Structure 1
Amino acid sequence: MNLVTQAVPFANEAFVDFTKEENRAAMQAALNKVKSELGQTYPLHIGTETIVTEQLITSINPGNTGEVIGYVSKADQSLAEKAMQTALTTFETWKKVPAAERAQYLFKAASLMRERKFEFSAWMVLEAGKNWAEADADTAEAIDFMEFYAREAIRLSENNEHMPLTPVAGEENRLSYIPLGVGVVIPPWNFPLAITVGMTTAAVVSGNTVLLKPASTTPVIAHQFMALMEEVGLPAGVINYIPGSGAEVGDYLTTHPKTRFISFTGSKEVGLRINKLASETAPGQIWIKRIIAEMGGKDGIVVDETADLEAAAQAIVASAFGFQGQKCSAGSRAFIVESVYDEMLGKIQALTEQLQVGLPEENFTTGPVIDEGSYNKILDYIEIGKSEGRLLTGGDKAEGNGYYIQPTVFADVHGRARMMQEEIFGPVLAIGKAKDWQEAIALYNDTEFGLTGAFFSTDEDRIAEALNNMHCGNLYVNRKCTGALVGAHPFGGFNMSGTDSKAGGYDYLLLFTQAKLTSRKK
């Protein structure tokens, strides 16, 4: 296998063009292959052992709830402790493996995933309810993360360029980045491959060992990644695959005295709980646990009267309803100046009503939400919205044997309304009117979150003001607020959106390392 190295410039993985017949045929073949493998039982992976437990997680297709994706073994505290001890032992050898050698496992895995891109995407279509393009983007991002972090690990190990030191006569000084230890990786279900892969490989390529507790709604996709890493020869015990409940396994490992760091992506509520539990020092603990957290958002798009209104409407609809609004970057709010407000409402309504809801494997634009809990929560918010704003379109369940909800738009929503303040994580958009662009920015900023945002205008002075004053980790001008690319758009937010960890950025690996200065007299 010809492997890329750090000397080759990083380039983002290309997205598949599904307008081409050969790509549509390849995707259909992958879906058929994956469907023939449904219903299997998947074990835990702890070191060299694969363990099938009596308790199982049943993963179902959210777009066709009668279809079982697989049965996944469920860890308890005793198995979590076994995994911890395995990871601790493995860390003693893995931390000594040169970064360039660790990186080769990621390069190999990226190469194999690229060869099997349609198959990995097909798993997400069926288990996560993504349409073909959303699943393909997820797989492409997973490949990007592995390629990017592998290069970064090599760069940090071989160069002093990140933190050049002031020369001192008669001394040889060096700052190196050494691994932390054993970490708990808790990824979300909404990017079940990309974020799982990114969080896990960033940790292991930095020299740490990992306890991977995937989301309970998408554990089979995480197992496909685990199997891939075993296939490329990653030493046993570097990644330990231990699905389990957050209350039992998650809390146990978060409070464990040997846990060195917790890398989490998910809701604000769970992130704050992890932060609180990890802040308590357990008996025998000799460090402050490091928390790397991305906790969601209530993102929005601001449109002024000078903007390209057609482009702005398209961006608002794409940001709000891509993957059914189940992205932490989803643009669930829009603030539009009053002089173009009614015109924009018409454009947004028309574009939203063009979205077709249906089975993801048939590649409908809009699919299901992830599970029954999300389904009921979103429908409850829609009822709240009917009292807080004017329903433009949608507002109800959609047909299908799954968790389908109509793409829903509310107009005339006040900035302090629950629809504007609380993360719904579904296909619901709230629109508010502003007297001018400054008020629109103020309304945008009036939230406890601060992840992504977008500003539409052709006035350079206003754009400059927005760049300075819109308070979020990722701000885009004249484009949608979703779709961050590895290397180009380091991703992470402010306030209750998390620790601004900037996944896919040039300082991300530093979060999984500690800097050690060595000084030697010549």
Structure 2
Amino acid sequence: NKELAEKAMQAADETFKTWKKVDPAIRADVLFKAAAIIRRRKHEFSALLTKEAGKPWAEADADTAEAIDFLEYYGRQMLRIKNGQPVESRPGEYNRYDYIPLGIGIVISPWNFPFAIMAGTTVAALVTGNTVLLKPASTTPVIAYKFIEVLEQAGLPAGAVNFVPGSGAEVGDYLVDHPKTRFISFTGSRDVGLRINQRASVLNDGQIWIKRVIAEMGGKDTIVVDKEADLELAAQSIVKSAFGFSGQKCSACSRAVIVEDVYDTVVNRVIELTNTLTVGDPSDFNNYMATVIDQAAFNKVTEYIEIGKGEGRL
């Protein structure tokens, strides 16, 4: 609720006073230690993804691996830029970038990559000297909490990252509007992203800066197949992209545009390959697809199937 969110904001504000002064190499070392811990507990985190998000093992393993990669990458990037970066200069000038911590960041992470994207957006802010209020998707909070435990085990001081679970309607607007919020990193739907962008543009009482917004929003991805393409590869790619994690990701193929000369060949092969997919419990290694994230998602998918029956050529 708002009361707990305000407590988290005050903790982040107080911790920022000291965390921003910590040597960048020490901040990066927290990330490297966390990566090592997760690497040792990789299957545990993949199991959490399977249990909480319904990810099949192959998808869960990739999500965990990407989270580790983000920790390693942002730690090394911090070491690279800690002393600033030169910028092209001309005679009589000396130009350079110096990077400084901004303040309190709000990280609003998605349910479809509840480990990788959540971890990446959180540690990118932390390693650069900012403090974070992490609001994970309401359907996948446990993975985020377990990640914070790892960060604390790796040496992150209390208050540097603050766990703020709950619905967006309950605390999301409050965090975005807060005068102490310096930036918002959001991954999710277009409608919510645009709402955040709009609200963050308003200068609230007590606010002394312009808030920055990073918004990665959903879209519609298309695979285009020309007649010169490798048709078998095209069909395989369409099926893997469309049905991996039940199509619940921004990179999923939601449309295939196929040249008429090879249309029937590709579509028939896509149907054949789709019929071979196994569906069931995500904890069973033999299943390629599992559940969607919740009842609302199921209803939406069902609705689109009915639209397809009415508009499609069957």
TM class, shorter-length? over 0.9
Give yes or no for the alignment of 1:385 onto 2:294. Answer: no
Letter in 2 for 1:347: R
Task: Report the counterpart of residue 125 of structure 1 in structure 2.
Answer: 50
Quick one: distance in 2 between partners of 1:270 and 1:143? Answer: 28
Quick one: distance in 2 between partners of 1:281 and 1:156? Answer: 31
Quick one: distance in 1 between partners of 2:195 and 2:95? Answer: 41
Paired residues for 1:87-486 under 5 Å: 87-158=12-83, 160=85, 163-166=86-89, 174-363=96-285, 364-391=287-314
Residue by residue, what CA displacement relative to the aligned partner does 1:186-244 show, whole Å, maximum 9, x if unpaired? Answer: 00000000000000000101110000011111101111101101111101111000102
Contact 2:87–2:95 (CA<8 Å) still a contact in 1? no
Quick one: distance in 2 between partners of 1:246 and 1:91? Answer: 24
Quick one: distance in 2 between partners of 1:329 and 1:206? Answer: 28
1:362 partner SS: coil
Letter in 2 for 1:365: Y
Letter in 1 for 2:301: I
1:307 partner SS: coil
In the alignment, structure 2 segments of 5+ residues that lack a partner are none
Letter in 2 for 1:379: T
Contact 2:50–2:283 (CA<8 Å) still a contact in 1? yes
Letter in 2 for 1:252: Y
Quick one: distance in 2 between partners of 1:381 and 1:292? Answer: 30
Quick one: distance in 1 between partners of 2:44 and 2:299? Answer: 31
Quick one: distance in 2 between partners of 1:95 and 1:168? Answer: 34
Quick one: distance in 2 between partners of 1:320 and 1:310? Answer: 15
Runs of 4+ in 1 over 2 A off after TM superposition: 171-175
Quick one: distance in 1 between partners of 2:223 and 2:149? Answer: 40
Residue 122 and residue 306 in structure 1: after superposition, are their counterparts in 2 closer, same or farther (change >3 A)? same
Quick one: distance in 2 between partners of 1:209 and 1:167? Answer: 37
Q: Over aligned residue pairs, what C-alpha RMSD do you find?
A: 1.2
1:355 partner SS: coil
* Structure with higher strand content: 1
Quick one: distance in 2 between partners of 1:358 and 1:390? Answer: 28
2:3 partner SS: helix
1:97 partner SS: coil
Contact 2:84–2:96 (CA<8 Å) still a contact in 1? no
1:166 partner SS: coil
Residue by residue, what CA displacement relative to the aligned partner does 1:120-145 show, whole Å, maximum 9, x if unpaired? Answer: 10100111111111000000000000
Deviation of 1:168 after TM superposition, in Å, equals 5.4
Paired residues for 1:77-88 under 5 Å: 77-88=2-13
Deviation of 1:378 after TM superposition, in Å, equals 1.0
Quick one: distance in 1 between partners of 2:72 and 2:38? Answer: 11
Deviation of 1:158 after TM superposition, in Å, equals 3.0
Task: Report the counterpart of residue 59 of structure 1 in structure 2.
Answer: none
Deviation of 1:174 after TM superposition, in Å, equals 4.2
Quick one: distance in 1 between partners of 2:304 and 2:208? Answer: 45
Quick one: distance in 1 between partners of 2:195 and 2:237? Answer: 34
Deviation of 1:101 after TM superposition, in Å, equals 1.0
Paired residues for 1:63-78 under 5 Å: 76-78=1-3
Residue by residue, what CA displacement relative to the aligned partner does 1:396-429 show, whole Å, maximum 9, x if unpaired? Answer: xxxxxxxxxxxxxxxxxxxxxxxxxxxxxxxxxx
Quick one: distance in 1 between partners of 2:295 and 2:95? Answer: 57
Residue by residue, what CA displacement relative to the aligned partner does 1:454-505 show, whole Å, maximum 9, x if unpaired? Answer: xxxxxxxxxxxxxxxxxxxxxxxxxxxxxxxxxxxxxxxxxxxxxxxxxxxx
Number of residues of Structure 1 aligned to a counterpart in Structure 2: 313
Residue 88 and residue 168 in structure 1: after superposition, are their counterparts in 2 closer, same or farther (change >3 A)? farther
* Structure with higher helix content: 2
Q: TM-score, normalized by length of structure 2? A: 0.97
Letter in 2 for 1:388: E
Quick one: distance in 1 between partners of 2:128 and 2:199? Answer: 25
Quick one: distance in 1 between partners of 2:313 and 2:70? Answer: 42
Deviation of 1:302 after TM superposition, in Å, equals 0.2
Residue 299 and residue 173 in structure 1: after superposition, are their counterparts in 2 closer, same or farther (change >3 A)? closer
Quick one: distance in 1 between partners of 2:296 and 2:268? Answer: 32
Quick one: distance in 2 between partners of 1:144 and 1:277? Answer: 32
Q: TM-score, normalized by length of structure 1? A: 0.59
Residue 96 and residue 273 in structure 1: after superposition, are their counterparts in 2 closer, same or farther (change >3 A)? same
Deviation of 1:173 after TM superposition, in Å, equals 5.6
Quick one: distance in 1 between partners of 2:183 and 2:84? Answer: 25
2:99 partner SS: strand
Quick one: distance in 2 between partners of 1:289 and 1:338? Answer: 49
Deviation of 1:285 after TM superposition, in Å, equals 0.9
Deviation of 1:165 after TM superposition, in Å, equals 4.1
**Larger Rg, first or second structure (1 or 2):** 1
2:186 partner SS: strand
2:62 partner SS: helix
Deviation of 1:390 after TM superposition, in Å, equals 2.8
